[in-house]
Amino acid sequence: MPWKTIIEPFRIKSVEPLGFTTPAERERLLREGGFNLFNIPANKVLIDLLTDSGTSAMSAEQWAGIMRGDESYAGATSFYRFEKKVRELTGLREVIPVHQGRAAERILFQLLGGPDKVVIANSHFDTTRANVEVSVAEARDLVIGEAARIGVPHPFKGNIDTLALEGCLKELGHKVPLVIMTVTNNSVGGQPVSMANLREASRICKQYGVPLFLDCARFAENAWLIKKRETGFSTLPVRDIVTEMFSYCQGTWMSSKKDALVNMGGFLALSDPALAKKAREVLIIGEGFTTYGGLSGRDLEAVAIGLDEVLDEEYLAYRIRSIEYLGEGLRKAGVPIVEPPGGHGVYVDAKAFLPHIPSRLYPAQALACELYRLGGIRTVEIGSLMFGKKGKDGAFIPARAELVRLAVPRRVYTQSHIDYVIEVFAKLAEDARGLRGLDLIEASEHLTHFTAKLAPAAA
Ligand SMILES: *Cc1c(COP(=O)(O)O)cnc(C)c1O
């Protein structure tokens, strides 16, 4: 294909207005909201890159499916369609619907977690870690060392360190109820896991008799990046790549708010009928009957359709290319990013971009606020506001990195929207040195970043 333009592989049937505001209005909203972008009303945001979760645009087919949704309490046709799709996709027989990813995690770790257990992953996503730790088990991350080198590219920064995995299983064996591979690896920037790494992790797990699970929220983006970056996969249909990925696991769960192109939904799928029986008992108590979980029939229908649509290679080419394009634009504007760009967004390295702002003045939050002030763009800080801690003596312990995540909703924005984001960054880069940090003035003990209040630091 000789064309340079990223052509969105859809035309637009239904539109929503963007939230245009004046600079004075944004200034006021920032002050009133304590320089916390979670406090900005969505209709006051022009381009919303806060998250790619539940923010997809559904297709005409999915909306048609919504009308066809069967709302019967038990045995709805929508459930059987959903079950069939998930079985086809994963090769796993036992399919349990849940309202979103963390509900599957709660059920799974209520059954498999517990004191003395150690759950191993390439990286646990936040909610996964929380559910493991609530069960009083330990959540241990064994991502490869390359993941920490922000500006240095590596094709599969999401990989697990297989030597460390083997060492842990040898040492802990029976204490490890399962090993998780998160695809793509959200916590390190939406970075993919290679097929070779999945294969090797699976071999090691088999050797020690430990089941391997996929946390598969972005399985399709991961499969596309395998096709593009791993030797031997370039001519294979993405469906075959997905089939091979799932062939290595004995269980999986999905936050369908990502690659199933829906606004709500999820599932847990297992090979072990005995475990599935127990999971369904927990499901009925907390989520709902076994053929709907926490979902409406129409949601099940939309997920089933989305799981097909996401494997359309025209869609995936557009999706991943548009993220790369954003990364290229930022790089050209002199903005340092996590290299290479991930599957669902670009992460800006605020520490390198704003070296004059120390971590204790939250450089990534300062940058996120400036993007809003200047251009009405909403992003999210992944740095010391989210992960910073207080030491025993009350001293500030910064996060390992100060990042701003630009997560791109699926099928929502066009190239002109992305060009605008790049333009705002280029403008901001002209006077990056003039940007000031933020003082934290009010914070809660847990999940600080949702409720924190900040104010511009003195010059
Ligand atoms: C979003 C996400 C979850 C949690 O899913 P929710 O639908 O937000 O509850 C778990 N794992 C990964 C990798 C995710 O990206």
Q: What is the CATH number of the domain that holds 296?
A: 3.40.640.10
Question: Which pairs with CB-CB distance under 8 Å and at least 24 residues apart come from 43-47?
Answer: 43/19, 44/19, 44/376, 45/19, 45/372, 45/376, 45/377, 45/378, 46/18, 46/19, 46/20, 46/21, 46/375, 46/376, 46/377, 47/18, 47/375, 47/376, 47/377, 47/378, 47/413, 47/417, 47/420, 47/421
125 is catalytic: yes
Task: Give the domain extent around 173.
Answer: 60-309
In the predicted structure, residue 84 carries a pLDDT above the cut 80: yes
Considering 275, 309, 343, which residue would you say is the last residue of a domain? Answer: 309
Binned at pLDDT 50, 70 and 90, residue 252 comes out as very high
Mean pLDDT confidence for 118-124: 97
Domain total in the chain? 2
Residues 224 and 254 in one domain: yes
Residues 145 and 87 in one domain: yes
The DSSP result for 205-222, as a single string, is: HHHTT--EEEE-TTHHHH
pLDDT in tens, 278-305: 999 999 999 999 999 999 999 999 999 9
Residue 14 inside a domain? The answer is no
Same domain, 41 and 68: no
Q: What is the pLDDT of residues 346-389, one digit of tens each?
A: 999 999 999 999 999 999 999 999 999 999 999 999 999 998 88
- Same-domain check for residues 305 and 349: no
Sign of the Cα torsion 306, 311, 312, 313 reads positive
Residue 33: CATH number of its domain: 3.90.1150.10
**Active site (annotated) includes residue 126:** yes
Q: Tell me the C-alpha distance between 430 and 157, whole Å.
A: 31
Q: Specify whether 297 is located in the same domain as 319.
A: no
Q: Judge if 238 and 90 occupy the same domain.
A: yes
How is residue 252 written in tokens? 């999986």
**Same structural domain for residues 326 and 383?**
yes
Ligand 1 centre distance from Cα of residue 27 (Å): 32
- Ligand 1 pocket residue status of 253, Cβ below 6 Å: no
Q: What is the mean pLDDT of the chain?
A: 96
The finding on whether 182 has its CB within 6 A of some atom of ligand 1 is yes
Closest CA to 353 of 325, 329, 380, 334: 334
Measure the CA–CA gap between 315 and 337, rounded to whole angstroms: 25
Ligand 1 mean position, distance from CA 190 (Å)? 12
Query: Measured from the CB, is residue 250 less than 6 Å from ligand 1?
Result: no
Q: Kindly state if the Cβ of 215 falls inside 6 Å of ligand 1.
A: yes
Q: Whose CA is nearest to atom 4 of ligand 1?
A: 101
What is the reported pLDDT for 448? Answer: 78
Q: In the predicted model, is pLDDT for residue 1 greater than 70? A: no
The atom of ligand 1 lying closest to the CA of 103 is 9
Q: Quote the pTM value.
A: 0.96
Farthest-apart Cα atoms in the chain, separation = 64
- CA 256 to ligand 1 center in whole angstroms: 8
